[in-house]
Structure 1
Amino acid sequence: MPNHPSREPDSDPYDTPPDPPIHYAEQALLGSLLLEPHRRETIGPLGPEHFARPLHGAVFAAVAALTPPDPAVHAREPVWLASVLGHAGPTTPALTPSYLHTLIACAGTPEHAAAYAGMIRADHARRAVRVHAELLVQAAGDATLPEPASVVLARADILAGLIDNLSSRFSPHPGSLPRTPSPAPPSRDTDEEASNEEQILLSTATARPDALPTMRWLQAEDFTVPVHGQLFRCLTALAYRSAPVDQVTVLWEAQHQGILTEALTARDVLDLLATPAGSAHHWGEQVLRRSLLRSAHTAGLRIQAYAEDRTNTPHQLITGSRRALAELTAVRVRWHRATSPTPATPPRSRAPATSRAGPRTPSIAPAARASR
């Protein structure tokens, strides 16, 4: 029977409007299971939580919990519908006998019940990824968190675990990259605090350049102010060449790298490098933390856009999400290098010397020689 749109009771405030195609896939599956209960054994793993509409999830929970009637009885009497309504009705006031008949009218082709179930699983995967991507975006932008980096990385781990789990359920296919345009990355946090900390880092690293070789985990792209990142690149270039580092040598390197302009004069550079304070490592961590949160925010927005685009298949969503998380992982690795203490190198034990002919034969004690 054709799957035509139909009006349902308006008493369920938790249901979404029946606009997306998944609504009709859910109706087709439930109608098929009401018509032919034995199809339940052919649809694969499915649970009430996979349904987009709570009303449909309640009907499926009843179908999954009840024992199907005898086929002969099912053909003569509506005992199956009565059982489903009796099981789900007390906890689902929106479910009425008329809606069960609506589901039967929208049953589609019962032989295709497994295909309908696959559609429901795919849409549930999309919604689950979207929810966890939203949580990642929220955590990355929450300035009230006491340990924002830890919370963001925990959210990223949960999202990555979900993607790995889904990859084992949906097979790959050609054209695996999502066609969804990537959203614009969030604007860089160029507030006064971030700018001041970057400036202090540059000044401190110039005054005490011995810290630069141990800060390979920081990159110019991590800075919120592009000019600050370019000056940091000048510092690392001097340190890499083992050249002298001070305000004048950094200024000379900035000239060679084309950083000096009418808007950024030599006097401006010298002023930027004139306020050292504290530890360069500390200020570098502050810069890298902002970069980590910014990368998490960007990755979350990209994955959220992929999940909201219904044209993407589950495999396209998985592939796009993994690529977005890989960019976050690159910053995460550098964050761990910056914040994890360097493990102490255990002393190397010296093995007893042996000749090429093998270990030396122990000498015979005097008492043993005398007994010969």
Structure 2
Amino acid sequence: MNPLLRAEQAVLGSVLLDPDQLSHLHWLAPEHFYRPIHQALFAALRKLRSDGHPAVGAEKPVPTSPARGAWPDDAAFGDSLPALRQWVTDAVDEAGRHVRGLTAAYAHTLISACPRAEHAPVYGRMVLEGAIHRTVAQHAIRLHQAARADALQGEVAGALRSADVLTGVLADLARRWGTDPRPVAPTAAPPTAPAAPVVRADLVAEDERFLLAVLAEQPQALDEVVAWLRPGDFADPAHGQLYRCLGALHHRGEPIDRITLLWEAQRRGLLADGTLSGEQLTAICDGVVPGSAEWFAQRVMRSSLTRTATASARAVQALAEDEALGPGRLINHALHVLGPLDEVRARWQAANGSPAPKPPTAPAAGGPPPARVQAARARSIPHPAPSPPARTSSGPVPASARSPSRGHP
């Protein structure tokens, strides 16, 4: 069975056994569960608790290891057993209003799946961990889809909006997990699928050739674009290197024509390694077209932004699908791989005269916010099992509960 499914069953079983465990799970939400039936049941349990169900707060010992497939021994609960049974029945009825297929038998299966009710915060942490991976992957896919759609339509608004949403989601997940969101480079490059082909590659290459032809014919136009257009913005590496040659000649104040460009390309080894050929350079210089260098450069920049958004989305998705990556590292690595998109976006805004985005607010001095500390501690601090009341009759005494698993580091 999937470990995540086991964790979801265990946390629900612990709350069915001991309603007071909900007080240790205030940071866990129904949407953090993967299965809809589990979402509905956890929402029902929270509603019953907020409505003041009689089982909440009742003094009762919780059996540390209920028999699999059977209701715990009646003697373990004493007079509180009817209220607990009503708690389970009411939870199933309430959840059944929102989802189909939930039965009392499945509720007993959940109870049997819980090794120790007092370990509910640790089980809940596992559920939240799975939800973080799932949520990051979903938003990365949406960013990828938006970037591809923008590339087809010659737009960037959808990709930028999806990137903002993903960044906000990462910040919210960091708050829930109790970590400080900051970009951290992965120790190893995340595994990624082969790069997707450039959308409308023929039109992108045409825009790049036209831009280079205009810049070769009107070198003074470099002043309009050199501040925000980079060689890496070109989809064709040969075009990016030729733009670098144009920029170098312009920076040194040397004349620019097909001969000086060819010489600069040779000095950089571009002819020897096959990056450029004399025929390519001649074709670009001879293909002079009327037009604005700034207009063509913005088209190249737009294509660069959607390509970068696509690559960033694929990298974030690969990180989210790595189950061995802890949530804190996942969030921080995802912020890191979104960095190139932030850099391209800043230059795109400079090209269009838009104000630069406000930098994120620095954390207050003296440590992380109290809410973040509380979120982390809620999952990490052990909650001892309640002591059983004195027994009037002789019988076996339940074994002491083991210490719950250590929380997130």
TM-score, normalised by the number of residues in structure 2: 0.73
Which amino acid is the alignment partner of residue 124 of structure 2?
A
Structure 1 residue aligned with 2:191: 182
- Rounded to whole Å, the distance in 2 between the matches of 1:220 and 1:176 is 24
Deviation sequence 1:4-23 (CA, Å, 0-9, x none):
xxxxxxxxxxxxxxx43111
Which amino acid is the alignment partner of residue 206 of structure 2?
N
Q: Determine helix, strand or coil for the equivalent of 1:52.
A: coil
Unaligned runs of 5+ in 1: 1-18, 344-372
Deviation sequence 1:161-213 (CA, Å, 0-9, x none):
1111222232459x994767331433445832222211111110011111102
Deviation sequence 1:100-151 (CA, Å, 0-9, x none):
1101111221111111112212211211111100001111112576453111
The answer to whether residue 27 in structure 2 is matched with residue 21 in structure 1 is: no
Q: 1:159 to 1:99 in 2, by over 3 A?
A: same
Structure 2 residue aligned with 1:53: 35
Structure 1 residue aligned with 2:267: 256
Which amino acid is the alignment partner of residue 281 of structure 2?
V
Deviation sequence 1:72-113 (CA, Å, 0-9, x none):
653246211221122122332210111011011112211111
Residue among 130, 143, 152 paired with 1:136: 143
Which amino acid is the alignment partner of residue 49 of structure 1?
E
Which amino acid is the alignment partner of residue 308 of structure 2?
S
The answer to whether residue 80 in structure 2 is matched with residue 74 in structure 1 is: yes
Residue among 281, 286, 291 paired with 1:274: 286
Shifted more, 189-198 versus 215-224: the winner is 189-198
The answer to whether residue 106 in structure 2 is matched with residue 99 in structure 1 is: yes
Residue among 64, 78, 85 paired with 2:92: 85
- Rounded to whole Å, the distance in 1 between the matches of 2:188 and 2:151 is 35
Structure 1 residue aligned with 2:217: 207
Q: 1:265 to 1:47 in 2, by over 3 A?
A: closer
Which amino acid is the alignment partner of residue 227 of structure 1?
A
Contact between 1:180 and 1:309, CA under 8 Å: does it hold in 2?
Answer: no
Q: Determine helix, strand or coil for the equivalent of 1:86.
A: helix
Residue among 290, 303, 310 paired with 2:323: 310
- Rounded to whole Å, the distance in 1 between the matches of 2:283 and 2:20 is 79
- Rounded to whole Å, the distance in 1 between the matches of 2:158 and 2:327 is 27
Residue 45 of structure 1 deviates from its aligned partner by: 1.8
Q: Determine helix, strand or coil for the equivalent of 1:186.
A: coil
Unaligned runs of 5+ in 2: 59-77, 357-409
Residue among 334, 339, 345 paired with 1:321: 334
Deviation sequence 1:343-370 (CA, Å, 0-9, x none):
9xxxxxxxxxxxxxxxxxxxxxxxxxxx
Residue among 243, 249, 254 paired with 1:243: 254
The answer to whether residue 322 in structure 2 is matched with residue 300 in structure 1 is: no
Which amino acid is the alignment partner of residue 282 of structure 1?
W
Q: How does 1:215-226 map to 2 (within 5 A)?
A: 215-216=225-226, 217-226=228-237
Residue 229 of structure 1 deviates from its aligned partner by: 1.2
Structure 1 residue aligned with 2:388: none
Q: 1:251 to 1:185 in 2, by over 3 A?
A: same
Q: 1:268 to 1:46 in 2, by over 3 A?
A: closer
Shifted more, 186-195 versus 273-282: the winner is 186-195
- Rounded to whole Å, the distance in 1 between the matches of 2:245 and 2:355 is 26
Please tell me whether Structure 1 or Structure 2 has the larger radius of gyration of its CA atoms: 1
CA RMSD, Structure 1 to Structure 2 (Å) = 2.5
Which amino acid is the alignment partner of residue 301 of structure 1?
R
Q: 1:244 to 1:112 in 2, by over 3 A?
A: same
- Rounded to whole Å, the distance in 2 between the matches of 1:144 and 1:225 is 16
- Rounded to whole Å, the distance in 2 between the matches of 1:83 and 1:341 is 56
Q: 1:341 to 1:137 in 2, by over 3 A?
A: closer
Which amino acid is the alignment partner of residue 285 of structure 1?
Q
Q: 1:283 to 1:276 in 2, by over 3 A?
A: same
- Rounded to whole Å, the distance in 1 between the matches of 2:341 and 2:38 is 37
- Rounded to whole Å, the distance in 2 between the matches of 1:323 and 1:342 is 23
- Rounded to whole Å, the distance in 1 between the matches of 2:14 and 2:203 is 61
TM-score, normalised by the number of residues in structure 1: 0.80
- Rounded to whole Å, the distance in 1 between the matches of 2:6 and 2:80 is 25
Which amino acid is the alignment partner of residue 271 of structure 1?
A
- Rounded to whole Å, the distance in 2 between the matches of 1:180 and 1:123 is 22
Residue 332 of structure 1 deviates from its aligned partner by: 1.2
Contact between 2:152 and 2:199, CA under 8 Å: does it hold in 1?
Answer: no
Contact between 1:178 and 1:306, CA under 8 Å: does it hold in 2?
Answer: no
Identity %: 35
Contact between 1:189 and 1:224, CA under 8 Å: does it hold in 2?
Answer: no
- Rounded to whole Å, the distance in 2 between the matches of 1:178 and 1:163 is 20
Residue 49 of structure 1 deviates from its aligned partner by: 1.1
